[in-house]
Amino acid sequence: MTESLNADAQSGGAPRCPLRDGAVPLYEHAGAASTGELWEELRARFGRVAPVLLEPDLPAWLLLGYEENLHVLRDRATYSRDTRRWNEIRDGRRVLGDGLRPTMAYRASALYADGAEHARLIAPINDALSRLSDARIKAEAADVADRLIDDFCEHGRADLIGDYAMMLPAMLMNRFFGLEDAYGYVLGELSAGIWLDDGARAAESAAQMRNYFGGLVQRKRVAPGDDVTSWMMAPEFGMSDAEMADQLVLLVGAAHLPTANLIGNVLRALLAEPVTAREFASGALPLGDAVNHVIWTEPPLQMLAARFPTRDVVVGGTPVAEGEPLIIGFAPAHTDPKLGRPSGAGGSALESGGNSAHLMWGAGEHRCPARSLAERVVELGVRRLLDRLPRLRAAVPADELTWAPALFSRGLVELPVLFDPVEAPQREAPVPPPAAPAGPAAPERPDDLLTRLLRWWQGSGRNRRAAKG
């Protein structure tokens, strides 16, 4: 791999244009009905690496080739994840925290660290996730899924994105963090809000997320439990409150939106792709293979920011200067003609379903720490929904479904469905809409960030569940 990339530098080809020259405004394609043609056009024009604009004045290199993406992900000595190495930060043209989108910002977490510092910060996350037993994941996921389904199963219709896919991973992580479900609804709404195109709403969501994690750490310092947060606080890890909050933000970022989008995209494929639906219904396509198929054809993350070269390099024949951002291109890499597989979703699902060599979960030291958890939750969540809703079917034609206007992620705005109504089972201890938290888990103290967050949320008009009820 490295030899082939280095050979590009010695090939004697024509020099490529600088980063800002001819950069394609990628932001104009956010939420496009199809992105396959875009990647093909970029490849035809630029080759393996393309200059793009993430915003009108935010240039970056987008990696289009599978090999180039894999190489950059694995070579931690040459390509840093630390945003402080960005040439525009280094040269003073930008300031960290000054209105940067979350994908190009910086936090003192494992996501932005390299080497020994990354190893120190990722250790408590890996340890805590390893302590979640499969039995606990299965039981909690089934219970959360059932409670969400109970909210709409008698209606005969639902939006599987807002009512289910977006809420399931957030509520599940909230339970693993050691909080009651009231805060899971808040976490789901806030986590989704961070990625909105509405800048003011996204900034407000990000600010309130800090209250969520700050309050979570406060509570668990006082009353630890059998949960991920408390395990990460073990003395051997020596994590400060600020470091704890930053690592938990990373964990939610890795586990929520990608998992939510993947659940939604798998459901879309099973309901709206005739070939996939037929092969799944016939038993020829196991659910795990259906998930792989979707990751290849509609990955829940199209791109991932960013890697910064620690020296001048040549990638895929393109000279890249030290500190210029390289955007990991999951979606374009998955359609790379060099892979010898058909692009898009037009072929048989079995052509991609059995292939797990996709890049969705990353590679190298920054590979996703929550991969196995996310895969388990996706399969459990999809299966539970299909088992509980008879004659589940799309409520609108496939070409009327709208993709969220997001640049890095790939998920539907809504997935309206119809099904035969079924009675919601009676539960011994139903969870009420989070309108009036009480009890020891939600103390009425003016300095309790979680209580203040819940009160803010109740008055913000964002309580979807209470509004529907």
Which pLDDT score, from 0 to 100, does residue 7 have? 37
Which pLDDT score, from 0 to 100, does residue 356 have? 75
**Share in percent of the chain as helix, strand, coil (round to 5):** 50, 10, 40
Give me the numbers of helices (H) and strands (E) for the chain, helices first please: 19, 11
Which pLDDT score, from 0 to 100, does residue 292 have? 93
Residue type, 67: E
DSSP letters, 136-194, are HHHHHHHHHHHHHHHTTTTTSEEETIIIIITHHHHHHHHHHHT--HHHHHHHHHHHHHT
Which pLDDT score, from 0 to 100, does residue 340 have? 78
- Residue 102's closest CA among 370, 353, 320, 406? 406
User: Is residue 303 helix, strand or coil?
Assistant: strand
385 and 392 Cβ atoms separated by less than 8 Å = yes
- Determine the longest span between alpha carbons in the chain, in angstroms: 73
- Count CB neighbours of 27 within 10 A: 15
- Residue 258's closest CA among 410, 147, 153, 393? 410
User: Is residue 340 helix, strand or coil?
Assistant: coil
pLDDT < 70 regions, the chain: 1-18, 98, 195-200, 341-354, 428-447, 461-469
pLDDT one-digit tens code per residue, 258-313: 999 999 999 999 999 999 999 999 998 999 999 999 999 999 999 998 999 999 99
Domains in the chain, CATH or no CATH each: 117-298+358-468 (1.10.630.10)
209 and 190 Cβ atoms separated by less than 8 Å = yes
Q: Alpha-carbon distance 202 to 195, whole Å?
A: 6
pLDDT one-digit tens code per residue, 76-118: 999 999 999 999 999 999 988 767 777 788 888 888 999 999 9
Terminal CA-CA length for the chain: 56
Q: Alpha-carbon distance 356 to 326, whole Å?
A: 24
Which pLDDT score, from 0 to 100, does residue 354 have? 64
- Residue 41's closest CA among 24, 55, 58, 28? 24
Hey, what are 152's tokens? 């709409």
> How much of the chain, in percent, has pLDDT values that exceed 70?
85
Q: Indicate the pairing of strand 58-63 with strand 24-25.
A: unpaired
Which pLDDT score, from 0 to 100, does residue 401 have? 95
Q: Looking up tokens 């292939």, which residue turns up?
A: 355
Give this prediction's pTM: 0.88
Helix (H), strand (E) at residue 314: strand 313-315
261 and 326 Cβ atoms separated by less than 8 Å = no
Helix (H), strand (E) at residue 249: helix 241-255
Distance of CA 363 to the CA centre of its chain: 16
Q: Indicate the pairing of strand 313-315 with strand 326-329.
A: unpaired
Q: What 8-state DSSP symbol labels residue 394?
A: E
